[in-house]
Structure 1
């Protein structure tokens, strides 16, 4: 595999899209997200720099689709160098005793179950030398963050277990801590917040990629 490949799950907006753009300078990006229009806009921005991407408009909670994608990546490139897992379901803030059943199910499906299904699919593509990236947002236990905080914490706990298991053998599994960013998700959580003090997804993507030496 001569061409470096970066798989970004949750690439349509926010940090995922910014990472796709940042990594496209050194990697061919496989961008996964449900929103076709947003992926096409991302592709336009990447192509404008002279780079290229492969768009995969699919839902990470669909294990059959994700298994087929991973098989296609293996057949075409043999593996990947980086997997950045940015897909998240951010349920509306609510007291624990008012949790909406559908939002809870979506949170568990996207943030926990899909992560548990994707790791076995993607680990063989990473091999011993690849890098898997997860992004912490420690809201577990905060008031009104019940669905998001609990399921995000579970996702990161799973990532940390994988990191401990592969410390000597690879792949490298890293849990990174982005600075607060001016994203649509954060705007839903903190309406009316002064966004001038927040980092941009692009700046955070550049900082985080620089940490990797990618």
Structure 2
């Protein structure tokens, strides 16, 4: 049976690194809004001898996610792995100057879409599949109100699901990657020395090693 991995937010950064790391062993279902970046990822996956299904979709559109998950069920009948790296990084701002439109986008992408996807993906993972979410300890830091609050809410959803499925599956994991030179981080720290940050491919390898070593 084909091993399948759904990666939401797969076009760049950690999501793309995870897709490439899993390519030799999994068929990658890559979701992102940017078609060109997905096509470039597909080339890199093929170079590793892997295969991918590209899904240029917006995770905040419930009907698109329903179509995606129905397509996964119709073609493969299951998912082995879901890695949720998609995030909306609103501009930094003082808490009393947060733009209401930016905050609404953050809630839609980071919280509402996550809850919707959990409901849609859980039946595909069944008892034996695994889901992975990625924490970021920025909540509560100055100027991170919009991103930090919604990222913390996303992880709270994941922790609830993790507790609820501890004895039944799927297995839910929450990883905290080290700082990486991603586009998201560049928006937050534009003058940072990126050479001191951690390689996304090394982080992806570490995360997958932790999954493989986790108890069933």
Does TM, normalized by the shorter one, top 0.5? yes
Question: Which residue matches 1:211?
Answer: 210
What CA RMSD, in Å, does the superposition of the two structures yield over aligned residues? 0.9
Question: Which residue matches 1:155?
Answer: 154
Q: Secondary structure at the match of 2:28?
A: strand
Question: Which residue matches 2:21?
Answer: 22
Question: Which residue matches 1:201?
Answer: 200
Question: Which residue matches 1:80?
Answer: 79
**Gap regions ≥5 residues in structure 2:** none
Shift of 1:205: 0.6
Shift of 1:194: 1.6
Q: TM-score, normalized by length of structure 1? A: 0.98
Question: Which residue matches 1:98?
Answer: 97
Separation of aligned partners in 1, 2:88 and 2:143:
15
Separation of aligned partners in 2, 1:50 and 1:134:
27
Question: Which residue matches 2:135?
Answer: 136
Instruction: Work out whether 1:36 is the aligned partner of 2:49.
Output: no
Question: Which residue matches 1:3?
Answer: 2
Separation of aligned partners in 1, 2:197 and 2:76:
38
Q: Secondary structure at the match of 1:153?
A: helix
Question: Which residue matches 1:120?
Answer: 119
Q: Secondary structure at the match of 1:31?
A: strand
Separation of aligned partners in 1, 2:113 and 2:82:
14
Shift of 1:44: 0.7
Separation of aligned partners in 2, 1:199 and 1:91:
23
- Structure 1 residue runs of 4 or more that deviate by more than 4 Å after TM superposition: none
Stretch moving more, 46-55 or 27-36? 46-55
Separation of aligned partners in 2, 1:71 and 1:166:
22
CA contact (8 A) 2:7 2:84 kept: yes
